[in-house]
Amino acid sequence: MMKGGQGKKLLWTNILCILLLQCLDLTTGAKVPAIIVFGDSSVDAGNNNFISTVARSNFQPYGRDFMGGKPTGRFSNGRIATDFLSEAFGIKPYIPAYLDTSYNISQFSTGVTFASAATGYDNATSDVLSVIPLWKQLEYYKEYQKKLGAYLGEKKAKETIAKSVYIISLGTNDFLENYYTIPGRASQYTPREYQNFLAGIAENFVHKLYGLGAKKISLGGLPPMGCLPLERTTNFVGGNDCVSNYNNIALEFNDKLNKLTTKLKKGLPGIRLVFSNPYDILFSVVKKPAQYGFQVTSMACCATGMFEMGYACSRASIFSCMDASRYVFWDSFHPTEKTNGIVANYLMKNALAQFFH
C-alpha cells in the first residue's frame, strides 16, 4: 500500500516526465550524446564531497527523495535541474559528479558535472569556502577529454565533444556570498562594474570551451536572488518580501549575459550558444505558487526554513516539513526537486530544445 505522500510524489514524477518529453522529439536524441556541466550548487551532484570544504550536502535530510533516499551531495531533496535535462535529452536520469570515484569514464561519457557548490565566476568567491574555482573545473574538463579519447577513440571522442550540450550555471554566489557579504570586491567595484567584471570572465570561459571543441553551449542566467528564503528572512524592513535590490541586480546581470550571447554568436563561427534564463519562471512560481501546485514560497522545507542550509539544515532536520512537493525551496538557498523539474522543463522549451536540430 502506497502512502499518500509517496503516491503524490510518484504522480508528480510521471506528470513531469510527460511534460519534459512532450516538448521534444526524442527520436533525434542521438544528436546529443552527453551533457557536460560547469557551475555552482545549482548543478553540483557531489563534487564537494571529495574536497575539504564545509559547503556540502552529502548527509540527511538532503537526497531523501532521490533514488533510494540517498544523500549524494546535491543541494536538494532529490534531483537537480541538470538531471531532468539529461533525462529530457533522452540520455540518463541523472548526471554524476566528476570527482566521485564510484563512477568511471564509461558513465561520464554520456554526461558529467564538474560543478562545485559555493563557487562563482570570480576566483575570490571560490576562496570563501575553499571550493573548486571555474578555471579548475575547466582543467578537470581537459583531463576528461583525454580520458574520453582513450575510451572512445580520438575520432568518436571529437564527435561527442562537438555534439554534446554544455551547461554553465553560476553567478549567484558572486553577489550573495561574496560582493554583498565580504569586504573586498565592493570596495574595488560598483555593482555595475562588478557585473562587467563577471561578464568578462564568462566571455573568456565560453571562448576557452569553444577552443576545446564545444559547440552547443548554454550560458545560464541568475534566479530572482532576492526571493531566496535566506534573503526574505533577513528583509525585516521589507516585511519579509523578496529583496528588490538583489532581484534588480539579477535582472541587470542577465541582460548583460543575454547581450554577451548575441555578441559571441556573431564572433565564433559554428557556435550554437543560447542564454538560458531561469529568472521569469522562478519569479512566477514564487508569486503564483498555487498555479504550479505549491503552498509555501517564503520559507524552505528543511529545518525551520528560514536560514538553514548544509550542516545547519541537517542539525535542525527534526523541524523539516513532511512533504517537500508543497514547497518551492528545499533549504534557504536551493529549490526542491519539484521546482527544479519545472525550471528544467521551462529552459528546455524556451532555450535548449533547439540543440536537437
Q: Hey, which residues are catalytic here?
A: 41, 331, 334
User: Is the CA virtual torsion 284, 287, 293, 297 positive or negative?
Assistant: positive
- Compute the distance between CA of residue 139 and CA of residue 343 in angstroms, rounded to an integer: 29
Residues 6+ apart with CB under 8 A from 146: none
End-to-end distance of the chain based on CA atoms, in angstroms? 44
Residues 6+ apart with CB under 8 A from 258: 221, 275, 277
Q: Which residue do the cell numbers 538560458 mark?
A: 276
User: Are the C-beta atoms of 324 and 337 separated by less than 8 Å?
Assistant: yes
Closest to 173 (Cα-Cα) out of 246, 82, 233, 84: 246
- Compute the distance between CA of residue 178 and CA of residue 185 in angstroms, rounded to an integer: 8
Amino acid symbol at 148:
L
- Compute the distance between CA of residue 238 and CA of residue 244 in angstroms, rounded to an integer: 9
Phi, psi of 80 (to 5 degrees): -105, 170
Distances (CA, A) of 211 to 37, 39, 277: 17, 19, 24
